[in-house]
Amino acid sequence: EDQVTQSPEALRLQEGESSSLNCSYTVSGLRGLFWYRQDPGKGPEFLFTLYSAGEEKEKERLKATLTKKESFLHITAPKPEDSATYLCAVQATVTGANSKLTFGKGITLSVRP
């Protein structure tokens, strides 16, 4: 069974204080790992897809990296508007029509001005 564990559960940072969010996963064969951002009362917003170990992707202050067992979302010099819950999900390599994502519980990030 595919599993995704995110840590820490919550993270409070001072504005400008860089940090990393962790996503550990077990999957029979990885088709893709996804990062989403979710603001309170809204649906998840897609950020990145990573396909293979060693891959990195960046968007503004966010950088996602991938190894064979985990992914990190690095936040450089965060701002208060980066406060949100960050979700990690994996999709296994399967044949046929199944495109199920397995999600972690999320990491709630608060950035203080």
Partner 1 sequence: ETGVTQTPRHLVMGMTNKKSLKCEQHLGHNAMYWYKQSAKKPLELMFVYNFKEQTENNSVPSRFSPECPNSSHLFLHLHTLQPEDSALYLCASSPFDRDAYEQYFGPGTRLTVT
The CA-based angle 77-110-21, given to 5 degrees, is 65
| Contact yes or no for 78/17 (Cβ under 8 A) | yes
Tokens 């406060």 belong to which residue? 83
- State which of residues 19, 27, 72, 101 lies at the interface with partner 1 (CB under 8 A): 101
Residue list 32-91, contact with partner 1 (CB under 8 A): 32, 34, 36, 41-46, 49, 51, 87, 89, 91
Q: State in angstroms the smallest separation of the CB of 53 from partner 1.
A: 14
Q: Quick one: 38 or 83, whose CB is closer to partner 1?
A: 38
Stretch that binds partner 1, among 18-26, 56-64, 68-76, 97-105 (CB under 8 A): 97-105
The verdict on 31 binding partner 1 (CB under 8 A) reads yes
The verdict on 95 binding partner 1 (CB under 8 A) reads no
Tokens 């994996």 belong to which residue? 90
The verdict on 22 binding partner 1 (CB under 8 A) reads no
The verdict on 27 binding partner 1 (CB under 8 A) reads no
**CA separation, residue 22 to residues 63, 64, 103 (Å):** 12, 10, 13
CA dihedral 48, 53, 56, 61 (to 10 degrees): 70
